[in-house]
Amino acid sequence: MIRSSTALAAALFLAACSPQSAPATSTPSGAAVEGMGGATMADFRTDVSMADLMAHVIDYNSFGVWHRQGWIIGETVQELFPTDDEGWHAAESAAFSVAEATNLLLLPGRPLDDDRTWVDATHMLYDAAMKAQAAALARDKVAFFYAGSDMYQACVACHNRYVAGDMGQPDTTLKPMPGGPPPPNQ
Ligand code: HEC
């Protein structure tokens, strides 16, 4: 008997949560795009400024990656990498946060021009952040370190063009750090 009443409770719960029974809470303005839950372009909230988005979301989470990697090479070598699961989990979370936040840079009104250079820079950052996430998951210190360097190159690529003036694309080939391990796959 206990089992069937649990099943009933579960069925009621599911019915309550099914999309059909959910009341519409707001009226869409503009055309909905399939797969967006009925949201339209007008539903994005983009009043957080680019400066705040950079400082508090992109930069903040990037340092969640960068503070957890590298070597301080002196008389002895000090490693900055996480030493336990909690630390690696935090590193992975920071990398995921950067990756997802690149979509925020593409919300309507945020890109500073329309020739796809901005889009390419966000994808460069996304790819690097996802590399960092995978490396953190795999506890691969060298790959995590170089993914962090790739992330930095993506910041520079966009800032060179949109913040400091267009100084051309930076050299993004990986170079070994003095005294550090070689880049992966070389
Ligand atoms: C797609 C373009 C783009 C990418 C990629 C990008 N930025 Fe930015 N960033 C900008 C723009 C544009 C500004 C200037 C914002 C303003 O002041 O209006 C900026 C400004 C900043 C600022 C200054 C914020 C302030 O308080 O004024 C910081 C810090 C920053 N970015 C960090 C980063 C870091 C770290 C990365 C890479 C992990 C990064 N950005 C990647 C476009 C980008």
**Nearest protein CA to atom 39 of ligand 1, as residue:** 155
Burial readout 31-59 (b: 16 or more C-beta within 10 A, e: otherwise):
eeeeeeeeeeeeeeeeeeebeebbeebbe
**89: pLDDT confidence band, cut at 50, 70 and 90?**
very high
Contact predicate 119/106, CB 8 Å: yes
What CATH code is assigned to 47-162? 1.20.120
What pLDDT is stored for residue 21 in this prediction? 63
More confident residue, 54 or 171: 54
Residue 152 Cα to ligand 1 midpoint, Å, equals 11
Please give the share of the chain, as a percent, with pLDDT higher than 70: 75
Q: Which mutation among 46, 49, 54, 131 tests ligand 1's pocket best, with the greatest number of atoms within 8 A of CB?
A: 54
**1: pLDDT confidence band, cut at 50, 70 and 90?**
very low
Q: Which mutation among 102, 117, 119, 158 tests ligand 1's pocket best, with the greatest number of atoms within 8 A of CB?
A: 158
**DSSP assignments along 65-100, one per residue:** HHTT--EEESSSEEE-S--SHHHHHHHHHHHHHHHH
Contacts of 172 (CB under 8 A, 6+ apart): 150, 153, 157
What pLDDT is stored for residue 56 in this prediction? 98
What pLDDT is stored for residue 125 in this prediction? 98
What pLDDT is stored for residue 81 in this prediction? 98
Q: Judge if the beta carbon of residue 147 lies within 6 A of ligand 1.
A: no
**30: pLDDT confidence band, cut at 50, 70 and 90?**
confident
Please give the share of the chain, as a percent, with pLDDT higher than 90: 65
What pLDDT is stored for residue 28 in this prediction? 83
Average pLDDT over residues 37-64: 95
Burial of 23 (0-12, 13-18, 19+ CB in 10 A): exposed
What pLDDT is stored for residue 29 in this prediction? 84
Report the chain's mean pLDDT, rounded to a whole number.
Answer: 85
What are the structural domain ranges in the chain?
A: 1-43, 47-162
pTM of the prediction? 0.82
Query: How many Cα neighbours within 13 Å face the side chain of 3?
Result: 0
Q: Judge if the beta carbon of residue 121 lies within 6 A of ligand 1.
A: yes
